[in-house]
Amino acid sequence: MPGLKILKEQKVDGGVITKGTGKSIRSENVSLAGKTGTAKTNYANKNEYARYNASFCGYFPAENPMYSLIIVVYEPKAGAYYGGAVAGPIFKSVAEKVYALKTSQVRFLADTILVKSDFPAHSQGYSDDFNNIFDYLEMKYSGKSKDWVDVRSDNSVMKYSEVKFQKSLVPDVTGMGARDAFYLLENAGLRVRMEGAGKVKRQSIAPGARVNGQSILIYLN
């Protein structure tokens, strides 16, 4: 490129950081690999005060790359202008923060899997919603239905049993989410209020009672 002169360049390997111009940014938290770059941007203009861009391009972790990153600092004003001195520390800082976030997410996910490895014991809802969830999670299920279902775990298989509701009677919505519970109760002719969040744990009017336009309170937890 006219007007651009590369002053320093290293091969993209761990040697730049372990032995080369980037060795000052070696991290104790994540292995880094990359190359420094220092470019004079006004090389063609002999009468101007020299201007430089400093860069560091690399990847991490070095032994099993997950991320690549390039840092470019245009015309650094702090005195130093070499890539290893200016862009390198920024690369290190960003890499350590990104890798720390990644590893904390992995630990959190691992802990979550250990804590929540059991299948849900009991739930009610619309069958298509369960189908989508179980298909996404690659969980086995049996007893497919195109309507409302009660779902219970049987070892490693989720089993459906179809649930029928009569319009003139208060439906049993325990175990349902708020959306499904509201849909069924309002369709039955009830005025619905709720407390809490999560799944329905109990309802103020017992299932099977006759509907006459009364209000019902559902408690979620």
| Three-class secondary structure assignment of 141-196 | EECCCCCEEEEEEECCEEEEEECCCCCCECCCCCCCEHHHHHHHHHHCCCEEEEEE
Longest dimension (CA), the chain: 95
- Confidence at residue 120, expressed as pLDDT on a 0 to 100 scale: 53
Q: Which two tokens stand for residue 62?
A: 């070095």
Domain boundaries, the chain: 5-115, 122-220
DSSP one-letter code for 25: G
Helix (H, G, I), strand (E, B) or coil at 199: strand
What does the radius of gyration of the chain's CA atoms come to, in whole angstroms? 31
What is the tens place of the pLDDT at every residue in 196-216? Answer: 888 888 999 999 899 988 999
CA atoms within 13 A on the CB side of 202: 1
**Span 145-175, pLDDT tens digits:** 678 887 877 777 888 877 788 878 998 988 8
Q: What is the CATH number of domain 5-115?
A: 3.40.710.10
Cα separation values, 215 from 93, 186, 201, 211, Å = 58, 10, 17, 10
Are 5-115 and 122-220 in the same CATH fold? no
Q: Does residue 60 register a pLDDT over 80?
A: yes
* For residues 100-109, average pLDDT: 60
Q: Which two tokens stand for residue 144?
A: 């497919």
Q: What is the DSSP letter of 55?
A: E
Q: Tell me which of 3.40.50.2000, 3.40.50.2020, 3.40.50.300, 3.30.10.20 is the CATH number of domain 122-220.
A: 3.30.10.20
Res. 11 pLDDT band, cuts 50 70 90 = very low
Asked whether the predicted pLDDT for residue 105 surpasses 80, the reply is: no
- The pTM score is 0.41
